[in-house]
Structure 1
Amino acid sequence: MGNEATGFRARIQKFGGVLSGMVMPNIGAFITWGLITAMFLKTGWFPNEKIAVLIDPMLKYLLPTLIGYTGGKNFYGDRGGVIGAAATMGVIVGSDIPMFMGAMIMGPLAALCMKQVDRLFEGRVKPGFEMIVNNFSCGILGIFLVLAAFFAIGPFVQVLNHVMSAGVNVIIDHGLTPFASIFIEPAKVLFLNNAINHGILGPLGITQAAEAGKSILFILEPNPGPGVGVLLAYTFFGTGTAKKTAPGVAIIHAFGGIHEPYFPYILMKPQMILASICGAVSGNFIFQMFNCGLVATASPGSYFSVLAVAPKSDYLPIIAGMLVSTAVSFGVGAFILRLCRDSDEEALQKAVAKKDSMKAEGTGGGGRIGAQEVIDFTGKVIKKVYVACDAGMGSSAMGASILKDKVKQAGLDIEVKNVAIPNLPADVDVVVTHESLTERAMRERPEAVHISVDNFLSSPKYDEIVKKLTEAKNPLPVLKKENIKVTDQPKTKEDAIHMIAQMLLKDGYVTESYENGMLLREKENPTNLGNGIAIPHGVLEAKKEIKASGIAALIVPDGIVWNDETVRLVIGIAGADQEHLSILSNVALTLNEEEAVRKIVDGRDADELYHILTK
């Protein structure tokens, strides 16, 4: 039975993650609309009828279209985004309410349909006709999707919205709105808040705001008061690690609006959920008593962001409600903590791990699949490091802030940002994710370096990343003087290739497998040039074993039999990019005569060879 409950919660979390992935990237547009509404509506701070005409078109057309585009893009890239936006127009025009639920359906649905159509044509289009097939297949499918949205899905969603709105109105009319937090607060701790907020409260709140100019539903979930109250209770009455860390987390939660960090403080002592619920319900009574509401979604849920989308007339009661939430949550939490004064040194760590494992259930993530256990940026030019999570707004924002500060202190000119996994850019160099999300991130950007952390807030990996970035800032020279050796040790070409490969391996130019690539190249295409020189190097497939471009050389006075030729100068090459080409040019120009080679070999002159190769 427990496994079934866990599986159900994980499915709800995953569904919430999908909804969040459509809404969160567009929060800026929602806030733009909310601020215009708060300022220029006739009941706003600066009433202006001319500017207020923007409010309705943005609400009805712009915001749903953005959601439809983002939903389609998340499922099938830019092509999915285009067809998702087109299909969303069908539900917009086919109804007379803001069609957010319809956009959340049509965006992904249209993208999945487009993906199936493209599979039908895959491998069957003649060269030269790709563009016309791509464009017209999208256009023709778009017709059917828009009509289906206009005649069927739009009206269905409108009926569903009316039913849900009627249910919400019954709850509001009977004065039961404050008690919604009995479900909302535990849902937040169990990571079900995205499903509730973006799937139910947000769309219904938009409908109410379109009619009344504001909605109480917008403030039920983002109110930071209950979480801040819990953290303040730990600050004054907690013990051990929880007491020491709670003040910093309270500041992040109150002014940064990120709720996730306070979840472990409830998970470590489940009784504290009562404090959170009591605080939220108390604040909701204030909001209901004074008929408060917000004009748009407040995200992230900080004191400032809530006030930013509050109507002028509701400022004081909303401030009072949030402060009452904080005070009641603090009072109840303090009582619980004084009642149960046990040591929590290990409890907080266990709670953090429990929080992460619950989040992992909802993301479908695995372990550290494919991530680098030992961080190595040798030979790589690192310009962009992104810290990624589901929505790119919560834990990843804090992780990116910590890492960015460390990178700045190290004096590195490297861009560090937080982002949602579906929005990882193509040119990202390093991706840092929680270990439960690494597999997803690797599927999204397989060519990047992926690093897993077990805790976004306090991972020792951040210091290791900065250390390795600093080392990578000063790359290996292509040729070190000590990597030119005078020796009669190699008796065969295989011996010589082994010595070359070991020098390159020792200094971090290649992996151990590169030697096999060199031997395979020699078997397929011998690398002796005909004037006493050989330039062994790996096959094309072995290039992935090269960490940095490097060269090593052997001066062999007694010579080696190399495919019916005596070779006395062996120059081994590992070419990652183009740095080694100048050395090859010097080999071609200066050592093209056997006499020049004989002079270096007979003189056993490693310094002269180094000068020739690097001049």
Structure 2
Amino acid sequence: MTTTSPAQTRGGARVAVQRFGTFLSGMIMPLIPALIAWGIFTAFFIEKGWTPNAQLATIVGPFIHYLLPILIAYLGGHLVYAVRGGVVGAIATFGVIAGSDFLIAQVNATLPADNQLGEVNMFIGAMIMAPLAAWTMKMLDRLWEGKVRAGFEMLVNMFSAGIWGFVMAIVGFYPLAWLINGLMNVLSTAVNWLVETNLLPLTSIIIEPAKVFFLNNALNHGVLTPLGLDQAASSDAGGSILFLLEANPGPGLGLLLAFTFFGIGAARASAPGAAIIQFFGGIHEVYFPYALMKPILIVALIAGGMTGVTTNMLLGGMLRAPAAPGSILAVMAQVANNSYVAVILSVVLSAAVTFIVASIILRASRKRDLAAAELGTDSFSAAVSQTEANKGKKSDALSGLRGSASAPVAESAATGTAVADREISNVVFACDAGMGSSAMGASVLRNKFKKAGVEGVTVTNKAIANLDPSADLVITQQQLTDRARGVTPDSLHVSVDNFMNSPKYDEVVEMVRRQRGDA
């Protein structure tokens, strides 16, 4: 059982990118309901909407130009310095928005009336300015912490936050607005160039492997979502293809179907259920372990992803707003007007191409996999070892997939099974966003405790960033264990390769049952 005792490990660049992506995700994911609401307003009431309404359409512009960036700013500031950071971050971000509008107005004054620049929506500005303002506020508060006379704390807190928000709003109005406008111009130009030169499908070479290794959030929430929202707001079609680069459920479905027909052992048995959860539930994480069992299958995911992007480019497929979670239901709910055929084809064709390529790979290695299974070799460990052998050297990323512990817990002399060195009463499933796959795993373990008659144990799910010392045992997917251990070093940690049905759940139940019996 890969249960680890408290220990600090170095996660390297992979963990750093994951942590950065999680922070960006923390600013975007809670706002998905607001993005959905904006998408509905757009779908119904703009000039080319289903039921055009000039009066209600006036909500669309201010919604995306002011409300969404300010909400992002508040969440970003809150992640750094709670409510105080959220308030200061929102104030500072409003300075960036106003500064951008001022710059655009200055440029438009020199341009003809029929060639005016549009607004720059400050999503990236909010994601930069709000955490900066909150962090600097936190540092300032430390300067006079414990030095304020009793009775004056509220006065100092209120005025210091107001004054610093004022200062940061001015900083946002002048230098930062100029920098963000320039950055948005560069990024938009780069995306337009990729589209015009038909090179946008090449982004799948980065996105698909990044998804499997949980490194996609920095790219998706840091670049694609802000650019997609800006593009959707300024597009005559009211949508953007960028929302489909990462959310397309087709490649994952194709991979899981290939395992359903041509896999072996536990992977084949669990693939049909995983396909339903991935395609309809939108929890893409469930197909990651299947790709990691045989990393060459990432080629199949890339091929499928490129097929989907190409289809959308040729036929004009796009979404009005981000589809989250990446369920086919969420995707179809956000399809821009007149794009249904293109989007459906992109999902079907990407799934078909991934299925064909993955099937060829699985069939080609079937004899070797069956021989390994007959020898009792764990297919996952064998695949990792074979990949390292093919590479010709050890790989930190592949070695980390085994979830090996840096310091195992004590073993019972009587049974030889792992035991915990602390009482387990609070079990937390943790994943990147704290929903979806971790909620599913928590439900599975909760039911196992109930069937085993174990009482007094709470099982919850959280985002890794929200973990706290109250967690006695933290369960994560193998690629995320290093990050979880860094947040709660005093907790016990269990790594699993699949939240749906890991044999380690039974070991956890037995470990806790023994604790209760011993007590």
Same fold (TM over 0.5): yes
Give the structure 2 partner of residue 165 of structure 1: 188
Matches within 5 A, 1:294-313: 294-313=319-338
Matches within 5 A, 1:198-597: 198-212=221-235, 213-341=238-366, 342-343=368-369, 345=373, 346-349=378-381, 358=397, 374=420, 386-406=428-448, 417-423=460-466, 432-434=474-476, 435-442=481-488, 450-455=491-496, 456-459=499-502, 462-463=505-506, 508=519
Question: How far is the alpha carbon of 1:253 from its aligned partner?
Answer: 1.2
CA distance in 2: counterparts of 1:423 and 1:330, whole angstroms: 37
Contact 1:68–1:88 (CA<8 Å) still a contact in 2? yes
Paired AA for residue 68 in structure 2: L
Describe the shift of the 1:350–1:112 C-alpha distance in structure 2 as closer, same or farther (beyond 3 A).
farther
Q: Does 1:54 align with 2:59?
A: yes
Question: How far is the alpha carbon of 1:35 from its aligned partner?
Answer: 2.8
CA distance in 2: counterparts of 1:507 and 1:249, whole angstroms: 37
Paired AA for residue 420 in structure 2: V
Give the structure 1 partner of residue 6 of structure 2: none
Describe the shift of the 1:64–1:258 C-alpha distance in structure 2 as closer, same or farther (beyond 3 A).
same
Paired AA for residue 348 in structure 1: F
Deviations 1:555-610 (A, max 9, x none): xxxxxxxxxxxxxxxxxxxxxxxxxxxxxxxxxxxxxxxxxxxxxxxxxxxxxxxx
Give the structure 2 partner of residue 112 of structure 1: 135
Give the one of 1, 11, 19 matched to 2:16: 11
Contact 1:44–1:311 (CA<8 Å) still a contact in 2? no
Q: Structure 2: any 5+ residue segments left out of the alignment? A: 1-10, 101-118, 388-395, 411-417
CA RMSD of aligned residues (A): 3.5
Contact 2:250–2:304 (CA<8 Å) still a contact in 1? yes
Deviations 1:401-443 (A, max 9, x none): 32344466679798754322344599x7766342434434437
CA distance in 1: counterparts of 2:292 and 2:233, whole angstroms: 38
Aligned length: 458
Range with bigger deviation, 232-241 or 142-151? 232-241
Contact 1:283–1:325 (CA<8 Å) still a contact in 2? yes
Helix, strand or coil at the partner of 1:336: helix
Question: How far is the alpha carbon of 1:457 from its aligned partner?
Answer: 3.7
Paired AA for residue 60 in structure 2: I
Higher CA-based Rg: 1
Give the structure 1 partner of residue 391 of structure 2: none
TM-score norm. by structure 2 comes to: 0.78
Give the structure 2 partner of residue 97 of structure 1: 120
Contact 1:178–1:285 (CA<8 Å) still a contact in 2? yes
Describe the shift of the 1:92–1:424 C-alpha distance in structure 2 as closer, same or farther (beyond 3 A).
farther
Contact 2:473–2:494 (CA<8 Å) still a contact in 1? no
Contact 1:85–1:107 (CA<8 Å) still a contact in 2? yes
Contact 2:43–2:337 (CA<8 Å) still a contact in 1? yes
Question: How far is the alpha carbon of 1:317 from its aligned partner?
Answer: 1.7
Give the structure 2 partner of residue 77 of structure 1: 82
Give the structure 2 partner of residue 608 of structure 1: none
CA distance in 1: counterparts of 2:204 and 2:518, whole angstroms: 60
Contact 2:384–2:399 (CA<8 Å) still a contact in 1? no
Question: How far is the alpha carbon of 1:460 from its aligned partner?
Answer: 5.3
Higher relative contact order at CA 8 Å, sep ≥6: structure 1 or structure 2?
2
Range with bigger deviation, 86-95 or 387-396? 387-396
CA distance in 2: counterparts of 1:454 and 1:239, whole angstroms: 23
Helix, strand or coil at the partner of 1:387: strand
Paired AA for residue 308 in structure 1: A
Paired AA for residue 263 in structure 1: F
Describe the shift of the 1:135–1:421 C-alpha distance in structure 2 as closer, same or farther (beyond 3 A).
farther
Helix, strand or coil at the partner of 1:123: coil
Contact 2:32–2:324 (CA<8 Å) still a contact in 1? yes
CA distance in 2: counterparts of 1:470 and 1:35, whole angstroms: 50
CA distance in 2: counterparts of 1:466 and 1:405, whole angstroms: 10
Paired AA for residue 134 in structure 1: N
CA distance in 1: counterparts of 2:358 and 2:221, whole angstroms: 29
Contact 2:308–2:347 (CA<8 Å) still a contact in 1? yes
CA distance in 2: counterparts of 1:299 and 1:339, whole angstroms: 35
Question: How far is the alpha carbon of 1:316 from its aligned partner?
Answer: 2.1
Contact 1:370–1:439 (CA<8 Å) still a contact in 2? no
Helix, strand or coil at the partner of 1:54: helix
Describe the shift of the 1:159–1:368 C-alpha distance in structure 2 as closer, same or farther (beyond 3 A).
farther
Q: Does 1:87 align with 2:81?
A: no
Describe the shift of the 1:389–1:191 C-alpha distance in structure 2 as closer, same or farther (beyond 3 A).
closer
Contact 1:377–1:468 (CA<8 Å) still a contact in 2? no
CA distance in 1: counterparts of 2:249 and 2:384, whole angstroms: 20
Question: How far is the alpha carbon of 1:307 from its aligned partner?
Answer: 0.8
Describe the shift of the 1:227–1:459 C-alpha distance in structure 2 as closer, same or farther (beyond 3 A).
closer
Matches within 5 A, 1:188-199: 188-199=211-222
TM-score norm. by structure 1 comes to: 0.67
Deviations 1:503-540 (A, max 9, x none): xxx985xxxxxxxxxxxxxxxxxxxxxxxxxxxxxxxx
Paired AA for residue 418 in structure 1: N
Deviations 1:60-89 (A, max 9, x none): 122211221111121222222221222121
Paired AA for residue 227 in structure 2: L
CA distance in 1: counterparts of 2:382 and 2:175, whole angstroms: 49
Describe the shift of the 1:348–1:369 C-alpha distance in structure 2 as closer, same or farther (beyond 3 A).
closer
Paired AA for residue 444 in structure 2: I
Question: How far is the alpha carbon of 1:173 from its aligned partner?
Answer: 1.3
Q: Percent identity?
A: 47
Q: Structure 1: any 5+ residue segments left out of the alignment? A: 1-5, 476-505, 509-615
Describe the shift of the 1:247–1:183 C-alpha distance in structure 2 as closer, same or farther (beyond 3 A).
same
Contact 1:366–1:438 (CA<8 Å) still a contact in 2? no
Helix, strand or coil at the partner of 1:72: helix
Deviations 1:357-382 (A, max 9, x none): 859989xx99689999628669x7x7
Task: Determine which structure has the larger helix proportion and give its number.
Answer: 2
Contact 1:453–1:459 (CA<8 Å) still a contact in 2? no
